[in-house]
Structure formats: structure tokens, C-alpha cells
Amino acid sequence: MSQPTIHTFSTSFITESGAEIKEPYLAYQTWGKLNEQRNNVIVVCHALTGNSDAKEWFPGFFDASNPLKLNEYFIICPNHPGSCYGSVGPTSVNPETGKPYQAGFPVFTIRDIVRLEQRLLDELKIEGVELIIGPSMGGMIALEFTIMDDRVKNSVLIAMGKAHSAWAIGISEAQRMALYADENWNGGFYDPEQPPAKGLAAARAMAMITYRSPKNYEQRFRREVNKEKQIFQVESYLNYQGEKLVDRFDANSYDLLTKSMDSHDVSRNRDSFEEVLEAISASVLVIGIDSDRLYPTHEQKELAALIPNAEYKEISSVTGHDAFLIEFEQLNSLLSDFVGKRTKDSQNQLAHETE
């Protein structure tokens, strides 16, 4: 991961729950240059355990096959608050105690995340967002951005829906139960030298089941045995994925960010889903994945149907939810169609205005 820029805000931040973060800051990375109008901006929103280095985890977006002429844009990817990759979160020092927040850090709702990241765009004097794109949790953030910020012209929402479903919340809670059952959890105030590694690894293993599809697991592993470890290959894979996350992620961040996702509901304390989404003026591309068990395609089809200037497209893949990290050829093809239509619409509008 490349070193991000850290932006510290001069005033405190109040979450929807009323918690105050007195010295908030965000880590972010950028590519390209702002134009004079400061409106050639692409915002990339990362998923649950992602970070600000979009070029690392979203490499296909930066590929030459991307229909966007990326050298003409200013791309920015913030690390979401609550994470452990540079932005304010549970590993940050609480200025009131001089110790890390740990479990004392509040849950940031998806809207809280958007509000703090809007402040980042404000302080960078960004006037317009040509495109915002996000998969999974990033798609939830991109959707709320599209609702809450009139700077957004075009939005690409991948593998999520209008609200976190009971199915998805249940999966998140099962993962949190694994964290809480770890003997080192200690209510979230654990010794950093002895974190709840077993619980976090188990939570990640559960997640990896939902990120792929049964067909993908059967193709990759079948009933093959790892002769060295004397366990099934699928067990070895899940153990490895759990250990890998333990090495790079904080358990409190995992706990809090899954709760952030559970807060996702565009109608919460607003009007109905229909009224909220009907008010979106941006052009929107909603992308589903045909083998996604975590966020099935009916959620994306419904979302696209509720947004006036939206279209639904689908990625075909056996890999399940994780296809957004794998099927970049298909993703860029869908982007090409979307960008082409937007360009044609803009040209037609310009011709009409000059008649």
C-alpha cells in the first residue's frame, strides 16, 4: 500500500448518534490533476477491508481498457473513518484520554462517512464530481453521496442495494459473534499485542464463504486434501484467508464497519424508498453479479428501477460477490457503454442549447 495523505480537520465531527470526534482526520490518495474548474473529479469508494490505494485493490479500473481517459481526471480515494488504514478510527488516540479509542470509537453510519468525506472534498475546493464509483460497502457510500451531494453527475453502484437486508445483517452479526467469543476480545478493549486473532480469522472465513459462490468453491477445491496439513484444501484456503486478515486489519474496525454497513437504508428517517431515490438527478449505472449470494441481483434490479435516470447491467461470473475485484474486462465494457451514452447525451444537450 502506498503512503496516503492525511487531512486533519480544524473542527470536530458529530456523528448521527451524537458522539463527538474532536480531532477528525482522513487518509486519502489521488491520481491525476484537478482542472481549473476543479470539477474533473472521480471518487472511488472502497469496500469493507479496503484502503485508499485504489490502484492496488481496483487495478482494472486503472487499466488502459477503461473507457475513461483517466489522464484527464483527478481521482481520489479516501479511507473511510472507522477503518485502520490511516483515517480516524478505533486505533486512533483519543485526545481526551491519550489512549487509543478501541471500542470507545463510535459507529459511523454510512451517512456519517459521507458527511466527513464531503468535508474533505469541500476543503480540497472540489466543485464537481464527474463520477463516483463503489462496490459493496463502497457502493452504499457512493449511493448516499449521490443522494446527499449535488456535485455528483454520474454514479456507478456495484453489488449492493437500497438498504442492508436482514440476510446481510445476519451474516454480519454472525461474524461479530465470532469476534466477541474470542477469549482476548475483552469488550473491544484488548491488548494490541494479543488481539482476538482467532475470532477475527473465523469472521473472515465466514465472510469468504459469502464472497464466493458454491460453483466457484467446487471448481477450485472439490474434496481435495492438503496432504501437508491433512485437511481439505477448502479448509486450508479459509485458514489462510483468516490469518492474512489478522495480519493486516484491526478487530474493532471490523466490528464497527460491519455495523456501518448495517446502518445502510436510504429511507431511514427520510421519505419512502421511492421518494428518496426518485429525487436523484445524476445518471446512474447499477451493476449486479449473477452469482452473488451476499447481495443478490434482485436488489440491484430494484435499485435501478427506483432511480429515474438509471440502468441495470450484469456481470456474469462464477466467482460470486468478489467478481467486482476480478472481472475487470466485463466491468470496463459496461463502463464503456455507460460513458458512451453520457457523452452522446451531453453532445445532444449542447447541440440543443446552441440551436
Give the catalytic positions in this structure: 136, 292, 321
Enter the C-alpha cell of residue 321.
460477490
**DSSP code of residue 94:** E
Collapsing DSSP to helix, strand or coil, 34 comes out as coil
- In whole angstroms, give the CA distance from residue 207 to residue 224: 22
- Give CA separation, 299 vs 65, 86, 290, 310, 318, in Å: 28, 32, 11, 14, 19
Collapsing DSSP to helix, strand or coil, 196 comes out as coil
CB distance 2 to 53 below 8 Å: yes
- Give CA separation, 21 vs 25, 37, 94, in Å: 9, 32, 8
CB atoms within 10 A of CB 219: 11
| Dihedral of alpha carbons 271, 273, 277, 279, sign | negative
CB distance 231 to 237 below 8 Å: no
- In whole angstroms, give the CA distance from residue 110 to residue 115: 9
Please provide the DSSP assignment of 114-154 as one string: HHHHHHHHHHTT---EEEEEEETHHHHHHHHHHHH-TTB-E
93 - beta bridge partners? 100
- Which residues are within 8 A (CB) of 40 and not within 5 positions of it... i.e. 6 or more apart? 32, 34, 72, 73, 74, 128, 130
The beta-strand segments (E) located in the chain are 5-8, 13-14, 20-21, 25-31, 41-44, 74-78, 93-94, 99-100, 129-135, 154-158, 225-226, 231-232, 283-289, 310-315
